[in-house]
Structure 1
Amino acid sequence: MKAIVSERYGTPDVLRLSEVAAPVPEENQVLVKVLASSLNYGNLVLLTGKPLPARLAFGLRKPKYQIPGGDMAGIIEAVGEKVTKFQVGDEVYGDLSSNGWGALAEYVVTAEESLALKPGNLSFAEAAAVPMAATTALQALKNKGKVRAGQEVLIQGASGGVGTFAIQIAKAVGAKVTAVVSTRNAELASSLGADHVIDYQKGNLENHQQTYDLILGVNGSHSLSTYKQKLKKNGLFVLVGGPSDQLYQFMLLGPWISMFGNKKFSSFMQKANQQDLVLVNEFIEAGKVRPVIDKTYPLHEVPAAFTYFQKGRAQGKVVITI
């Protein structure tokens, strides 16, 4: 089968399209014919080996998982004898980042716990754009942020994969959403349901008088003192992503801010979860959530897709068709 292979850390140039042996499912695995995948921040970590602590999980000197790709959508071609949730012919999608990656290939084997039935109202390309980004948004909002109807929610960096899902999921549970985006993404944020849009190119967040029950820091470079200022009493800031200098600032100052005062700072690591993906399914099939796709690339153009994704300007997701 054809697959993208990465034998060393580096730039997108290290990725190459190769012929490799097709995988065979074990008794508790399924074999999926992959029809589409998509890129997330975790793909860049696996490609570059940075930040360096990530190599403890991904391999110290070279990638432990040589076929990258976490998100996927496809059709089950074979099942192991202990598989109970799926059968041959099922259309599925899922996040394989906790089960060996490998989605940038024509076939992949994975545990059935990595998958859910594909929403019937999405194409395979659309479905592949969902798993990691949507469950990250869901876990940040509901599991960590405990978002409730009527709350004021600010999403910093609302135009990327996680941010576009965060707008929609927050609205689906009844929150009032303010999206912070650039000028080119203001219309997109409004179309996804944001009640208010702050264009950071036309004014600073500090200049807005509104305060919030929950702030999601998906991307952006505001100081922690700014986020603290914009939180209501007993409000919560959840760090989802952003530049490394903000991460280090958060690690140094976040616990102290939370310890003293009535405003809390928290972070989390997304983890693939079948139940969360099933809940996302319900939002999608009810028409409350939809993926936003910026660009689509064929498998042999994966290096170009990574190069584009690395720029950090994608509106929604970058999808790979296979």
Structure 2
Amino acid sequence: MKSLMITKYGDISSSLEQQEVTRPIIEANQILIKTYSSSFNPYDYKVVKGDFKAMGKISFPIGIGRDVSGIVEEVGKSVKKFKVGDKVYSRPNESFVGTMAEYVVTNDEDTALMPSNLNFDESASIPLVGLTSYQALVDIAKLSKGESILIHAGSGGIGTFAIQLAKHLGAKVTTTTSTKNISFVKSLGADKVIDYTSQNYLDEGAVFDVVYDTLGSNYTLDSFKVLKSGGRVVSIAGTIDSITAEQFGLNKFIRMILSFQARKVTKAAAKMNAMYRFLFMSPNGDQLEKLAKLYESGTIKPLIDKVFNFDESIQALEYLAKGRAKGKVIVKIREDI
């Protein structure tokens, strides 16, 4: 079968290659998905660039892609929830990364039936961004009705989902974007929009109960400048905190280095009596079921910027890396049935 593979660390055009690989063999609790659509996320091009070398060694070549929608081709003998022919979607476990492929293996517990009102492209736009923001806002931040949240980069794949989810939870949503995307993010439910080309979100003052840091770098530390005392900062791009480092199973030496790097953030959080957590999302089929219901009810709508064919998958990742996509970038692995 064909699969897009990372062959080395480096730039996108020279580090990715479509290769013929052996079709995977499933175990008792796994399913084999005949892939129809997949999608890229910023995490993918960061892996190619080598941004996560400290998290563990990679043996090249290795697959790329963490979102999949398709049809169940085969089920393991212990699988009860799914049958051959089911339309499903998943964010596979890291052991099975490589959804830019004609077939994908995933654990049954990491899989759910696709939202009944969505097609393969739309369903493939959901798993990673949906699970990431659900776990950030519901599980960690515990965002509640009437609270105020700042969501950075509201027009991106994460932002477009997070705005809709935060509004569903009853929060007052402020987001940042560029001038051309103001009406777009307002249409998703944003109550206030900060145009970063002419405004500074730091001028808001300490008014937010929750800051969802999707950008990292200086934005992580600056989150505490706009946070109420006792507020919560959840980051998917900033400094890794000690709890997450332990969850990763990193050795003590690496954790010590990360702790040193996080000292400014840790100090800022303590000063504000605030919570800081770095989130590395976990695959979760039960949560995908909950998300499917939100899409089926029309509470959340899929946002797709552009769809590429499988043979254009390298160009698709290059396009995403430019940082201008409004919503998700989809790769159609095969034509819809």
Q: Give distance in 2, aligned partners of 1:120 and 1:86.
A: 15
Structure 1 residue 2 and structure 2 residue 2: aligned?
yes
Counterpart position of 1:42: 43
With the length of structure 2 as denominator, give the TM-score of the two structures.
0.87
SS of the residue corresponding to residue 227 of structure 1 reads helix
For 2:50, the aligned partner's letter is G
Counterpart position of 2:330: 319
Q: Give distance in 2, aligned partners of 1:236 and 1:320.
A: 35
Structure 1 residue 218 and structure 2 residue 218: aligned?
no
User: Residue 114 of structure 1 contacts residue 274 of structure 1 at CA under 8 Å; is this kept in 2?
Assistant: yes
Q: CA deviation at 1:235?
A: 1.5
Q: Give distance in 1, aligned partners of 2:310 and 2:72.
A: 20
* 2:139 equivalent among 134, 143, 147: 143
User: Residue 157 of structure 1 contacts residue 220 of structure 1 at CA under 8 Å; is this kept in 2?
Assistant: no
In the superposition, relative to structure 1, how do residues 40 and 248 fare at CA in structure 2: closer, same or farther (>3 Å)?
A: farther
With the length of structure 1 as denominator, give the TM-score of the two structures.
0.90
Task: Figure out how many residues of one structure are paired with residues of the other and give that number.
Answer: 315
For 1:50, the aligned partner's letter is D
Q: Give distance in 2, aligned partners of 1:243 and 1:199.
A: 25
Q: CA deviation at 1:102?
A: 2.1
Q: Give distance in 2, aligned partners of 1:150 and 1:189.
A: 20
In the superposition, relative to structure 1, how do residues 241 and 191 fare at CA in structure 2: closer, same or farther (>3 Å)?
A: same
For 2:296, the aligned partner's letter is E
> Which segments of 5 or more consecutive residues in structure 2 lack a partner in the other structure?
241-257
Q: CA deviation at 1:261?
A: 3.6
* 2:268 equivalent among 257, 260, 266: 257
The runs of at least 4 aligned residues of structure 1 exceeding 6 Å deviation read 247-250
For 1:303, the aligned partner's letter is I
* 2:202 equivalent among 203, 206, 223: 206
For 1:5, the aligned partner's letter is M
Q: Give distance in 1, aligned partners of 2:219 and 2:332.
A: 38
* 2:310 equivalent among 299, 312, 315: 299
Q: Give distance in 2, aligned partners of 1:314 and 1:223.
A: 20
Counterpart position of 2:299: 288
> Which segments of 5 or more consecutive residues in structure 1 lack a partner in the other structure?
none
SS of the residue corresponding to residue 203 of structure 1 reads coil
User: Residue 158 of structure 1 contacts residue 218 of structure 1 at CA under 8 Å; is this kept in 2?
Assistant: no
Alignment root-mean-square deviation, CA: 2.3
Counterpart position of 1:125: 121
Q: Give distance in 2, aligned partners of 1:302 and 1:259.
A: 44
Counterpart position of 2:29: 28
